[in-house]
Structure 1
Amino acid sequence: MPTSAVPAALSYADADARLGGALSAVFEGAGASPGYDEVLFFDGDLTLDGDFLDAINELRRGDDEHDVELIVVTGDLTVRGPIALYEDRPGLYVGGRTEAETLEGGDAEICIHDGVFTHLVYGWYNHGSLQTGIVDTPWVIDYDHHMEVGARGARWVNNYEDDDDADFAVGDGIIEAFVPEVVDAEDGSLRVEDFLDRLRAGLPVLRPGARSETESASDHGPGPHASLPKP
């Protein structure tokens, strides 16, 4: 397994101090304490094969310490697979550039800077948070999540509710635009796992000729939301 930086187990306070308070600036905004104890701290660049969490667990195999609550990479993080953090622990902080197949967040707190994600960035439900710098990815999907994602070249999907500022939103917009293999016809939402499987297989996810509301509006000049930035 390729890896560069050697992990160290630090307390949250020690890790935050080594980063000049960068962790507390991000993770303590909503309360007095983020509730993190042990931090797995990689000082430098880190490259991993396969699923991010599986690779981290492989690195720590035989480690008798408690479960890691926050993973910190001070340099660049390169993952030859997905980053998918749906449980509330561990959280993730990356000080450098992040590259992976996907960035998927659920209950965990995630804060990265710039990055590239081959298939998508996905925020699921409303317990965690997902913050990025400027990222390059074709799709951003939001399901009622706290997302601060800078991905202006991406197509945005609101998979939770109607949204005039999204390219595609739950309901008729998704049903009419996407191939039936990736749509839950009952509630008009994307089945994200099936959607991602098709992206990985190189299969189309949009129906032939499907256009977002933004693309359709551009055919007739600037629309009412043309000057509004993406979330």
Structure 2
Amino acid sequence: MAENSAPERLSFAEADARLAQALSSSFEGSYGSVLLFDGDLVLEGGFLDAVTKIASLEDVDLVAITGDLTVSGPIALYGSLPGLHVGGTTRAETLEGGDCEIYIQDGAFTHLVYGDYNNGILEARTVETPWVINYDHDLRVDAPGARLVDNYGDDDDADFGSRSIVEAFVAEVVDPEGECIDVPEFLERLRAGLPVLRPGAGGAVARA
């Protein structure tokens, strides 16, 4: 595994100055302490668990990486803190955002990008991933070639929405009452290499 540099614990203002105001130009919330990794960061396993093995996240509002971030497992940030900023390219199994703010540049995610509910922000430039799932989230992602699932039901541009999810996807990944994707089950099938779509289902069929 790559040798990671030791992080610094800085105030938001100090970290923002180091990053040429990249934080203040993106983040909308009020933040105190920032855990700053200068350079590339390579992590084994899930992002949060791996970071806590390097440094405590107690009282940390944001994790910032100036270089590339490579994670062998998921980046799954559902709590309001910490937020995440990556200055370079981000690579991981998944990118999942909930109540926090996430700002990255380009990225590649093996299984999916998911934005959960409407308290947080997940913003990226161009990412490679097969699936983008949005549940009423402020999801700002350009993912050419990905299939977009609207798990909330009001995005007419999505490949799959509430009117087509039950018919298009295998029963194991669907919540029939909510007419939406069960994201943990969906992800488990992707990890296992099992199909998630019924035979013949596709974006054009779903939109029709």
The answer to whether residue 91 in structure 2 is matched with residue 96 in structure 1 is no
In structure 1, give the amino acid aligned to 2:6: V
Query: Does structure 1 conserve the Cα–Cα contact (< 8 Å) formed by 2:10 and 2:33?
Result: yes
CA displacement at 1:216 relative to structure 2 = 7.2
Query: Does structure 1 conserve the Cα–Cα contact (< 8 Å) formed by 2:152 and 2:180?
Result: yes
> Greater CA radius of gyration, 1 or 2?
1
Query: For 1:3 and 1:102, how far apart are their aligned partners in 2?
Result: 23
In structure 2, give the amino acid aligned to 1:54: D
TM-score where L is the length of structure 2: 0.96
Query: For 1:189 and 1:3, how far apart are their aligned partners in 2?
Result: 42
The answer to whether residue 23 in structure 2 is matched with residue 23 in structure 1 is yes
Q: Select the residue among 56, 62, 72 that pairs with 2:51.
A: 56
Query: Does structure 1 conserve the Cα–Cα contact (< 8 Å) formed by 2:161 and 2:206?
Result: no
Query: For 2:70 and 2:187, how far apart are their aligned partners in 1?
Result: 20
Query: Does structure 1 conserve the Cα–Cα contact (< 8 Å) formed by 2:160 and 2:206?
Result: no
Secondary structure of 1:72's aligned partner: strand
Q: Which moved further from structure 2: 206-215 or 99-108? A: 206-215
Q: Select the residue among 98, 109, 116 that pairs with 1:117.
A: 109
Secondary structure of 1:27's aligned partner: coil
Query: For 1:77 and 1:201, how far apart are their aligned partners in 2?
Result: 25
Superposed CA deviations along residues 118-146 of structure 1, whole A, max 9, x for unmatched, are 00000000000000011000000000000
Query: Does structure 2 conserve the Cα–Cα contact (< 8 Å) formed by 1:3 and 1:48?
Result: no
Query: For 2:5 and 2:144, how far apart are their aligned partners in 1?
Result: 32
Query: For 1:96 and 1:40, how far apart are their aligned partners in 2?
Result: 16
CA displacement at 1:5 relative to structure 2 = 2.6
CA displacement at 1:213 relative to structure 2 = 2.8
Query: For 2:155 and 2:58, how far apart are their aligned partners in 1?
Result: 42
Q: Select the residue among 31, 34, 40 that pairs with 1:39.
A: 34
CA displacement at 1:59 relative to structure 2 = 0.9
Query: Does structure 1 conserve the Cα–Cα contact (< 8 Å) formed by 2:160 and 2:207?
Result: no
Secondary structure of 1:147's aligned partner: strand
The aligned counterpart of 1:221 is none
Q: Select the residue among 141, 144, 157 that pairs with 1:152.
A: 144
TM-score where L is the length of structure 1: 0.86
Q: What runs of 5+ residues in structure 2 fail to find an aligned partner?
A: none
Q: Select the residue among 186, 192, 202 that pairs with 2:193.
A: 202
| Deviating 4+ runs (over 3 angstroms) | 214-217
Query: Does structure 1 conserve the Cα–Cα contact (< 8 Å) formed by 2:106 and 2:125?
Result: yes
Query: For 1:92 and 1:75, how far apart are their aligned partners in 2?
Result: 13
In structure 2, give the amino acid aligned to 1:43: D
The aligned counterpart of 1:77 is 69
CA displacement at 1:35 relative to structure 2 = 1.8
CA displacement at 1:91 relative to structure 2 = 0.1
CA displacement at 1:212 relative to structure 2 = 1.3
In structure 1, give the amino acid aligned to 2:143: A
Supply the RMSD in Å over aligned alpha carbons.
1.6
- The change in CA–CA distance for 1:75 and 1:190 in structure 2 (over 3 A counts) is same
Superposed CA deviations along residues 162-187 of structure 1, whole A, max 9, x for unmatched, are 432000001x3001110000001112
The answer to whether residue 135 in structure 2 is matched with residue 143 in structure 1 is yes
In structure 2, give the amino acid aligned to 1:120: L
Query: Does structure 2 conserve the Cα–Cα contact (< 8 Å) formed by 1:168 and 1:213?
Result: no
The answer to whether residue 97 in structure 2 is matched with residue 105 in structure 1 is yes
CA displacement at 1:6 relative to structure 2 = 1.9
